[in-house]
Structure 1
Amino acid sequence: MSAAERALDAAGIDDPELRRSYLLCRGMHAEYGKTYYLATLLLPPAKRPFVHALYGFARYADEIVDNGEESGRAERLTAWSARVLDDLAAGSTIDPVCRALQHTVRTWDIPHEHLIAFLESMAMDLTVTEYPAYADLERYMYGSAAVIGLQMVPILEPISAEAYTHAHQLGVAFQLTNFIRDVAEDLARGRVYLPLEDLAAFGLTRADLGAGVATPAVRELIRFEIDRTRGIYESSRHGVDLLHPTSRPCIETAFILYGEILDEIERQDCDVFARRARVGNSRRLAVAVPRYLRARKARLPQPVGAGRADRS
């Protein structure tokens, strides 16, 4: 029996069709979200399938928006989004990704509003190609990133309701890290996620970024964005301690490795056009392995009531 199947057993997921849906989501997670997937392996096996389901839902929507035939994307996303929400309301579905999502949402009492907000932000990507101010970008990131963190919190079992605030912040920090790293990739898709007011502050326009040259002004812009993002990471740091001990190594690993993407960008002198910054496998393992050992230790029997979620 594979590790994935053992995790499904641990989670009490017995229905063959439902198991196939979870395995589909796990496959998308392993292929497209390597850092996040590695961190998820530090969770107790019984929790991993639910995280895979949330990732699979987000990734499937992202694939509609960013890949495949450009014509008809809006129609495909609208139709799929409507089907997801209708099926959630009905409590049944034939969509394999939605099947795992439904079960996860029901198991952990995840508000449907988070899913609606996410799908609304995905729809924005089909029509909005730039953001005048950071406040405009924040509205987009609430649905595209903050709600991902909010969906995760019940699975991670908070010991304080304050964990939700920090999860919101960490989701934004992860998203901003992606935006900084992927400037060139996003430009190729016709989008700029760095606020235009930030570009103007450094004497830049969208066309300057489109030239694909890391001029001194562009490098200063990237340094500014990195500094702001690090501040958000710092404000979210305390949230790790507000999770059940068995969940902390997972989030701490993601926190460190995503934050180190910013370090890698700085090591290439803030040239986001030369290559896509990434944290190497050896470093990923160096961060993950000791936390994996801590995670296993944390799974030892706990006092009755330890880590019980505070959902007040």
Structure 2
Amino acid sequence: MSISQKNTHINEDLSPEMSLARNGKSFNWAKHFLGDEMGRDAAKLYSFCRLLDDMADGDIPNGNTRLVAIRGGLKNHQPTADRTMTEFYPFMQEKNIDRDVVLALIDGLLQDQNVVAHENEDELLRYSYRVAGTVGLMMCKVLNCHNPAALAHAIDLGIAMQLTNIARDVLEDAMMGRRYLPASWVDNITADEILAAMRSADTARIELVAAGIDRLLALAEIYYESGRLGLAYLPVRAHISIAVALQVYRQIGVQLKNRGTPWQNGRQHTNILTKFICTSQAMQSLLSRPAKRQAHNKALHHALAGLPHVS
């Protein structure tokens, strides 16, 4: 799982704002529209999730052991003395962030410690809920969005962004022995075979993976649309910020698709001009903010049955 661009030089002493600026450029861009207080709160949430992600990926010494301990403490209503949790727990209580949602996030991150080779779309969506839909739920609390009807859309935006992450990082994930693309989409190709296809310029397998990524991006579009409908529940400044984040993040997939899905060449980036264009597009979403909110498409959550705040 990747919250955003990975940095191999992890510094736990960075302030939340510095962590966001260094490691989450798309989200940092969007944060500027939130104002000072809400922007600081969003950075705190990002920094916490990022540190958990870095623990799971082995970028922090004893990270996996610490992550398991943090999970055990939360599960037993006794937060551990781990600095990551002791610094976040008062904020978690202040914002009334659901303990089960944080546990689901950690479960998703721990899932990456096993062999990652999803079998089907439902398995992919459940994973994406755990590592990113949960972040959407927590962000609702940070953005002072308390309408229960907004939660389903927040989950969907998180899922959409995670699907974009996966599409962007197919090559990097294969280098870590991970294949998030469902086996049923890519003829059960393994992470090692993905790497071998890239190195040998195996056209057939390169195209097979590209077709899987195209299917992934098409699925992401469905969840982005649901996430976009959820903007109407947000305060105006939060609407603008999340709309910007949505447009900038979605643009990664747009670029990948428009360039013929060249996954074997490494990840796509959005430059400053592209971010300005995406910001302009996001601003226009205020003009189409519906007076009457649309009901959530429950079919999008069939695969998520039993997970926190999924109806």
Alignment TM class, shorter chain as reference: 0.7 to 0.9
In structure 2, what is the equivalent of residue 268 of structure 1? Answer: 259
Out of 24, 38, 45, the residue aligned to residue 47 of structure 1 is 38
Amino acid at match of 1:33: G
Identify which range, 171-180 or 35-44, moves more after superposition.
35-44
CA distance in 2, matches of 1:248, 1:69: 34
Q: What is the 5 A alignment of 1:150-189?
A: 150-158=137-145, 160-189=147-176
Decide which structure has the larger Cα Rg and report it.
1
Amino acid at match of 2:90: H
Q: Secondary structure at the match of 2:35?
A: coil
Out of 80, 104, 128, the residue aligned to residue 115 of structure 2 is 128
| Identity rate, percent | 24
Q: CA deviation at 1:51?
A: 1.2
Out of 185, 209, 223, the residue aligned to residue 194 of structure 2 is 209
CA distance in 1, matches of 2:255, 2:143: 29
CA distance in 2, matches of 1:173, 1:75: 30
1:257 aligns with 2:214: no
Give the CA RMSD over aligned residues. Answer: 2.9
Identify which range, 52-61 or 247-256, moves more after superposition.
52-61
CA distance in 2, matches of 1:37, 1:50: 12
Out of 53, 56, 65, the residue aligned to residue 75 of structure 1 is 65
Q: Could you report, residue by residue, the CA deviation over 1:90-113 in whole angstroms, capped at 9, with x for unpaired residues? A: 579571x33442232122111111
1:219–1:47: structure 2 CA closer, same or farther, 3 Å change rule? same
CA distance in 2, matches of 1:69, 1:246: 35
4+ runs of 1 displaced by more than 6 Å? 289-292
CA contact (8 A) 1:257 1:279 kept: yes
Out of 138, 141, 146, the residue aligned to residue 128 of structure 2 is 141
1:69–1:22: structure 2 CA closer, same or farther, 3 Å change rule? closer
Q: CA deviation at 1:22?
A: 9.9
In structure 2, what is the equivalent of residue 239 of structure 1? Answer: 230
Q: Could you report, residue by residue, the CA deviation over 1:46-69 in whole angstroms, capped at 9, with x for unpaired residues? A: 112221121111111111222447
Out of 186, 190, 195, the residue aligned to residue 177 of structure 2 is 190
Q: Secondary structure at the match of 1:197?
A: coil
CA distance in 1, matches of 2:181, 2:154: 22
Query: Structure 1 unaligned runs (5+)?
Result: 1-20, 296-312
CA distance in 1, matches of 2:82, 2:52: 17
In structure 1, what is the equivalent of residue 290 of structure 2? Answer: none
Query: Structure 2 unaligned runs (5+)?
Result: 1-11, 287-311
CA contact (8 A) 1:22 1:49 kept: no
Amino acid at match of 2:194: L
CA distance in 1, matches of 2:132, 2:217: 17
Normalised TM-score (structure 1)? 0.77
1:289–1:260: structure 2 CA closer, same or farther, 3 Å change rule? closer
CA contact (8 A) 1:42 1:249 kept: yes
Q: What is the 5 A alignment of 1:5-84?
A: 24-68=15-59, 73-82=63-72
1:98 aligns with 2:85: yes
1:289–1:270: structure 2 CA closer, same or farther, 3 Å change rule? closer
Q: How many residues align?
A: 268
In structure 2, what is the equivalent of residue 3 of structure 1? Answer: none
CA distance in 2, matches of 1:159, 1:74: 33
Q: Could you report, residue by residue, the CA deviation over 1:176-233 in whole angstroms, capped at 9, with x for unpaired residues? A: 0000000001011111111111112xxx622542322463333222222111111211
CA distance in 2, matches of 1:98, 1:53: 12
